Structure 1
Amino acid sequence: MNADPQPRLPPVIDYPHGIVCVDTLQERAGLACCYLVRRGEDLAFVEAGTAPGVPRLLALLDARGLARERVRYVIPTHVHLDHAGGAGALLRELPAAKLVAHPRGARHLIDPSKLIVGAQAVYGAAAVARMYGEIVPVPEDRVIVADDGARLPFGDAELQFVDAPGHARHHFCVWDVVSRGFFCGDSFGLSYREFDGPGGPFLFPTTTPVQFEPDAWMQTLDRLLSFAPQRMYLTHYGCVDNVEHLARMLRAGIERYRTIAEALAKQPQRHAKLVAALMADALRELAMLDAPVSEARARKLLAFDMELNAQGLEVWLDRAA
């Protein structure tokens, strides 16, 4: 790993095929984004981010002269609050939009009380309030439940929904035939653009509590690849291509995580050892890719993810015990 050039990430990125990536500035720039997709006269937001990020999504519409009434869908890939916490607040401002949700997740967006309690158990009540703001219920009559294989008309095309367990059982991916890409939430891992260098992107799993299932995740990757996607639109963060190579990187990462967790399953101070082992694993991979960041910068960027990944692996270990 090299010294840090500290690149500035643009807050809005225009990709081909009518797709715009907007940084919701969760915690820092380049951590989480939503996508505005345009097909004909129809618009959709894929991911809703958090309530504090909703004004950025509305500002994008206003800056581009796009009427809020044109937004047909708001589509969180799953109900983790960094993806769906702002859904209710966003729907309030989009009078014609419907929320599209996974069958296992819809009820939690209609009544988010369990989501809030679950997040507070992981982060603490004060941190949840700071990170996610007001979590607004979504009216039931504005929810579309998208089962596996569902297709929704969208402008002059359609969107197809693919059940995608592995990271979470309430996760789907959204296939966009126009761009030949998936809006994949967390199902294709995390890849922060600060790490891009001569060896290409660094992509790693997210095992955030509480539904990490490595075997199911491998099957999800098989299914996604069966579409021969040319690109993946990550929520964390941005569009990546070279999909087959990155899928191999993700599979290898999932297997290493499984091995690390099993090796430390009965160790004293298991959590601290898991965090350290996962960070060491990431630093080795970054060094192999000659990523353009110092070790200190990499540790800072990855600290939160490694903490959450360790928690998720512990839940997985305890469930299997």
Structure 2
Amino acid sequence: MHDFVQPLGHGIYAIDTGFQRPQFDAAYLMVEAGRAAFIDTGTNHAVPRLLAALGDLGLSPEAVDWVIPTHVHLDHAGGVGQLMQSLPQARLVVHPRGLRHLIDPTALYMGAKAVYGEAEMQRSYGRLVPVPAERSQASSDGETLHLAGRPLLLLDTPGHARHHHCIWDAHSRGCFTGDTFGLSYREFDTPQGAWALPTSTPVQFEPEALRASMDRLLALQPTQMFLTHYSRVGGSVAEVQRLGQLLREQIDEMVALAHAAPFGASPERHAFLKTGLEAIYLPRLHAHGCTQSLVAQLGLLEMDIELNAQGLGVYLDKRAAAA
């Protein structure tokens, strides 16, 4: 088996997509009675790894029944169209707010290009491939899909993005959470367990909705959470609940930080938010027993601090416009 494929039990495999750095972005392959589903795909550049994972397990592309991105941000769904071209039997299931963006990804691509530029789009994501409408369907809240009889419950989970759903797998007592249950990098694991932080990536961070979505997942009493960034956390109901409380506390601190920021969009506000996020994360990592240098910790969190500060800025601007 390739070293980028990690067996997690219960027929679930995490695939390191290779996006940005090792152990940053995962896609999942679920196998049941010879049938398969992908949950999140990474970018176009991940597709060879996803197909190689099938080969590692002796499965043909025809064995895949479902491709289920948790939401349409490109690190989760950028490779959907290209992957579907190699999976003749698979159907796409995506949140209804994201469906049109995968059938016609023009707006999705142009929006990201406006942020990153054409060169970075090609380097990190590649050209997005549309999915035929006849092979695509929107999820509905509370809907159950079946993989060779194995039920997969789809739950609408806004807060990180309005086009986000999570997948509850009763067989493993685990949730595939995309970005709803935050980010947890394996470099921050200590004898105390995993550490996690919320993501307020622009442009649809809604803290009240995110708290409600997390509570909905935790009410299922999961023993593990399958995060896109990165891989499985938990191991017991108590551990998952601990991480949920950690995330709630940080969401509250992030909102308080945002409301203390200088009024109006400005470089000064953005710098204030970034500094404030560092002040939230670093003491918590120290208390968690992390032994990396502060430089190393900030290096691992650099992208998240930048994007979370941007997202908090958008959150503030929306509140001001609605006032």
Q: Does 1:67 align with 2:66?
A: no
Aligned to 2:242: 245
Amino acid at match of 2:289: D
Deviation at residue 158 of structure 1 after TM alignment: 1.3
C-alpha contact 2:95 2:165 (8 A) present in aligned 1: yes
| Aligned counterpart in structure 2 of residue 155 of structure 1, from 144, 148, 157 | 148
For 2:252 and 2:110, the matched residues in 1 are separated by 31
Secondary structure of the 1:58 match is helix
| Aligned counterpart in structure 2 of residue 205 of structure 1, from 195, 198, 209 | 198
C-alpha contact 1:194 1:292 (8 A) present in aligned 2: no
Residue 230 and residue 52 in structure 1: after superposition, are their counterparts in 2 closer, same or farther (change >3 A)? same
For 1:205 and 1:87, the matched residues in 2 are separated by 25
Aligned to 2:40: 47
Q: Does 1:90 align with 2:83?
A: yes
Aligned to 1:126: 119
Moved more, 231-240 or 62-71: 62-71
Aligned to 2:177: 184
Q: Does 1:259 align with 2:256?
A: yes
Amino acid at match of 1:271: H
Secondary structure of the 1:297 match is helix
Q: Report the aligned-residue RMSD.
A: 1.2
Aligned to 1:300: 299
Deviation per CA, 1:34-86: give whole Å up to 9, x if none.
01001112100100110001101111111221111000011100000000000
Superposition map of 1:165-176 within 5 A: 165-176=158-169
For 1:128 and 1:115, the matched residues in 2 are separated by 11
C-alpha contact 1:81 1:132 (8 A) present in aligned 2: yes
Deviation at residue 133 of structure 1 after TM alignment: 1.0
Give structure 1 regions of 4+ aligned residues with deviation exceeding 3 angstroms: none
Aligned to 1:316: 315
TM-score, normalised with respect to structure 2: 0.94
Amino acid at match of 2:293: S
For 1:120 and 1:276, the matched residues in 2 are separated by 27
C-alpha contact 1:196 1:292 (8 A) present in aligned 2: no
Q: Runs of 5+ in structure 1 lacking a partner?
A: 1-9
Amino acid at match of 2:94: A
C-alpha contact 2:174 2:225 (8 A) present in aligned 1: yes
C-alpha contact 2:161 2:205 (8 A) present in aligned 1: yes
Aligned to 2:49: 56
Deviation per CA, 1:130-151: give whole Å up to 9, x if none.
1111210111011021110111
For 1:219 and 1:82, the matched residues in 2 are separated by 24
Moved more, 37-46 or 119-128: 119-128
For 2:252 and 2:164, the matched residues in 1 are separated by 21
* Identity of matched residues, %: 49
TM-score, normalised with respect to structure 1: 0.95
Amino acid at match of 1:196: D
Q: Runs of 5+ in structure 2 lacking a partner?
A: none
For 1:222 and 1:24, the matched residues in 2 are separated by 29
Deviation at residue 119 of structure 1 after TM alignment: 1.3
For 1:66 and 1:292, the matched residues in 2 are separated by 41
